[in-house]
Structure formats: structure tokens, C-alpha cells
Amino acid sequence: MIHLRFSESGFGDLLRGAAVLFGSSQRQLAQALRESDVVKRRMPPKSVARPKRGALEDLIEQITVDAYGDAEQLWAFRQVFEDDLTVPSAATIAGTPITVVKFDFDGNERCGLTAKCRLQDGSHQTISAADVQLPAGDPGERYLAAYRKWMGLPPHPEPKPAAPARKRSEAVSPAPNQGGAVDLVVLSVQKLAVRCRYLVNDERITLRAKRFWDLAPGEIVSVSLNKQWTYAGNPYLSGEIESRRIDTGALSLSPLGLEKCGMWDPAEEYWGEEGESIDEWAKPIIARGPRPQFEMQQVLPGEDPEDPFSDPITESNDLKDAGDFAGAEKLLNEMCESDLRCLDAHAHLGNLDFEHRPKDATRHYEIGMRIGELSLGADFDGILLWGMIDNRPFLRCLHGYGLCLWRAGDFDGAKRVFQRMLWLNPPDNQGGRFLTADVQARRSWESRRHR
């Protein structure tokens, strides 16, 4: 028999190690170790009355009354969190302000409930729900306390002090521009506000303003200030939106990478059967001769590199197909907030708006297209084949933007976009040659749509 001796400070490490070695749930291990001979507890004398049942015990029983075993009880907690806790919600972890986006349980009893959180820099992280501390008085705080108690943890941990607030004189918020307004970059449009950053630096802020719903991630807005404040460690600003513009060159974004993938030779392509005349659109492309072909870097925030089936864009499409347009839009906005260079998020936001809000769709497509163009430069003469999958987000933005111009009656602008699609991707997987013919013939979008 082997006897172990460890200090109180080492108990947590032993517990975590045991969870990994034996595959038991955190709660089972905590209970087993508390009741073992290794961890001695002082038992009250028999003459001392057992304390009365408390409110947390009643709440735990209410939540888990029909659940048997740890897994079912964790699902029960997860369900009550979903029903009764409001998210997004301001919270802290180890004294650091965060925003809880979602509580969840993936079936792993060792991990228990998790909380998907948005950090102050806009990035996302998944942590243990037991580590989340809601503000005192928050209605959801008692549910977290009950969950911690069920886990065998202190229901009301001592809050760790937050980092000292920056003095007012040390604020780095930019001064208003000459017109008395401040320039903000839209990162994501939420239900009640807009997540932004200052144009001149990376400091993030939440904007509350009237009529913000048609803003697009990547736009620059000039806002006349009404009020600034901080809540739960997060800065806020309210004001009137005076103007808006698209200027991706001013966003200080790192251009997406371009990987050279050999040469594209028109002599090796299929242009029709022998003896058939070559289409007019193809003649100048063939005459230009071989050109270098590239694949553009694709940014996909939220993708799990260890899971080949992880694709947030597909998830947003699934939400849309299920009729949850708000959920799809929210997910795409979160991806833009993580990285504005996610071209596919811009393209799919445009797809969501194309049918009923074509002007809004135009902005989404154009912003994605302009961000992609930062990598190409004005004199780009290479090939971006649709067959190279990472080129597709940029080509989708280009295609959507051309359709919007055509729909708005800008035949010349649409023609330039569709011809550019053909030069970038001569195999024409998107049907640019047919679209070019329609706009050259000045056919209206509506007449083409109903054919």
C-alpha cells in the first residue's frame, strides 16, 4: 500500500490529475477525495444539530429533480442557464472584465459546463462556467452559485480585485476631428449597439446610436459625441452618426497573403470544340498568354484546425436554412469582429441582405472586395482560379457586388466587374460571360431574374 501526503495547496493539482487519469467527473472526484481518508474533515459532535437546508440546496434540487447521474444533471443545469440567464452578459474572470456570450455543455463530464466569452480585445475564449463571476445582484448569479455548490466548490468565491482603472487624464480616446466628430471603424452590428474601434488605434468601444442597423462591418462612421462611460470595465459611447464611408485603405489591415501556384496557360484550357468560333470575351484573355496564378489567404475565425468539418460559414448557412436569419447574421458579425479580413463573412452577410435590402448587401460585398484588393494592388494581372478554394470568398464578393450594381441600374459598373471576374478566373465558374452579355444588352435585373 502506498501512502500519499500532500499540502492543501497541492490538492487542486491532485484533483485535476486524477480527472485526467481516471476519467471520472470533477464532481465525483471531488466528493470521493473529500470523503476519503486522505482528506480529513472535522465532523461536528453528534449533539450539534445539522444545519437547516438552504436556498441553494432547494434550487439545486429544483434543477436536478428529474435528472439521474452527473451527465443528466449537467444537462439540466445547462438548460436552466439557457432559459433563465441573459446573454450576452458582463462578467469577470480572475478580476478581468469579459462578456459571456453563451453557456454550454458538450457532454464531457470532466469539463462540466463551459462559457464562451468575448474578451476586451474582441477575441473569443471558452472557459469553465464555474470560473465566471457575474456582478453582485445579477439574477443569474444564484444559478452560478448553485452550480458551483453542486460541483463541490465554494458557491460564492471571493472576487479577485480588478486591474486599477485608468485615470481620466491617461485616457487614450482620440480627440474629435475638425468637424467635432470621432471616426470609428464598425466591427460588428449587434442587436442593441455597434462594436467599433477607433480609426487611429486599436482601442475598442461599444457605440449606442440611432439608426445603426444598416451599418456594415468595415465601414468608417463619423460620430458626434454625446456621452462616454464605462460599464463592467467596457467603454461605451453614445452619439449621432453624421456620415459613413468605405475606405479600406485607412483601416490599417494587414493584406491577405498571396501564394504563387505556378503559371496559367490559355493554350492548355478548353475553349470549345475544334472548328468552333471562340467567344469574343475570351479572345483578349487568350491573346494575353500565360499569366501567374495565385491562391489568396483565407481568414476564418472560429475554425477548429483539428476538426476538418469545423466551418463557421457552413454553420451560418445552416442557421439561415433553418429560418434563423438573426442567428446567422449574429455569427457572421462575430467573425468580422474577430478579423475584418474574413471575406466570406462579408460575402454571406451580403447574401442575407440581397433579397430584401440590396443597398445594404452592396456595402457588404464592396467592403469584402476592397479588403481583398489590398492584396492585389492596382496593377495585378494574375489569375485567381475558383478551383483554388481559398480564392472563392473574394470571387463571391466580386460577383455579389456586380449583381448589386446591375440591380441598381449601373450597367457600366456591373460590366466592369463581370469582365474582371472573367480575367481573374477564365474558366468562369460563376457565369460571368452570361452576365456580361446581359448588361451589354441593357437588360434589366428584373427581366433577367424572371426569365
Sheet holding 124-128, edge to edge: 89-93, 96-104, 114-118, 124-128
What is residue 167's DSSP assignment?
Answer: P
Higher local confidence (pLDDT), 135 or 361: 361
Q: Is 180 left (phi over 0), alpha (psi -120 to 50) or beta?
A: left
Task: Give the three cell numbers for residue 373.
Answer: 484588393
pLDDT at 40 over 50: no
Residues 261, 384: Cα–Cα separation, whole Å: 10
Give the pLDDT band (50/70/90) at residue 177.
Answer: low
**Most confident of the following: 3-12, 155-164, 314-323:** 314-323
Average model confidence (pLDDT) for the chain? Answer: 82
Query: What pLDDT is recorded for position 35?
Result: 42
Does this model's pTM top 0.75? My answer is: no
The Cα–Cα gap between 345 and 342 comes to 6
In this predicted structure, the answer to whether residue 283 has a pLDDT above a threshold of 90 is yes
Domain boundaries, the chain: 55-151, 178-245, 258-449
Q: Please give the pLDDT value at position 119.
A: 79
Which range has the top average pLDDT, 137-141, 231-235, 277-281, 394-398? 394-398
Q: What is the pLDDT of residue 19?
A: 35
Per-residue pLDDT at 160: 52
pLDDT band at residue 24 under the 50/70/90 scheme: very low
Instruction: Please report the pLDDT score of residue 446 as a whole number.
Output: 84
H or E segment and range at residue 185: strand 181-189
Q: pLDDT at residue 47 above 60?
A: no
**Topology of the domain covering 55-151:** SH3 type barrels. (2.30.30)
Q: pLDDT band at residue 176, thresholds of 50, 70 and 90?
A: low
145: number of CA atoms within 13 Å, CB side? Answer: 19
Share of the chain above pLDDT 90, in %: 47
Distance CA 339, CA 94 (A): 26
Span 414-427, pLDDT tens digits:
999 999 999 999 99
CA nearest to 59, candidates 74, 75, 78, 80? 80
Q: Which range, of 205-214, 303-312, 378-387, averages the lowest pLDDT?
A: 303-312
Which residues have C-beta within 8 Å of that of residue 332, sequence separation ≥ 6?
Answer: 316, 345, 348, 349, 352
Encode pLDDT of 300-340 as tens digits: 988 777 777 778 999 999 999 999 999 999 999 999 999 99
CATH code 3.60.20.10 for 178-245: no
Same topology for domains 55-151 and 178-245, yes or no? no
Give the list of residues 6+ apart from residue 165 with CB closer than 8 angstroms, or none: 230
Q: How many CB atoms lie within 10 A of CB 176?
A: 15
Class assignment of domain 258-449? mainly alpha
Please give the average per-residue pLDDT across 249-261, as a whole number.
94
- Mapping DSSP to helix (H, G, I), strand (E, B) and coil, where does residue 82 land? helix
Question: Which band of pLDDT confidence, cut at 50, 70 and 90, is reported for residue 245?
Answer: very high
DSSP class of 365: H
Do 287 and 251 form a contact (C-beta atoms < 8 A)? no
pLDDT value at position 41? 36
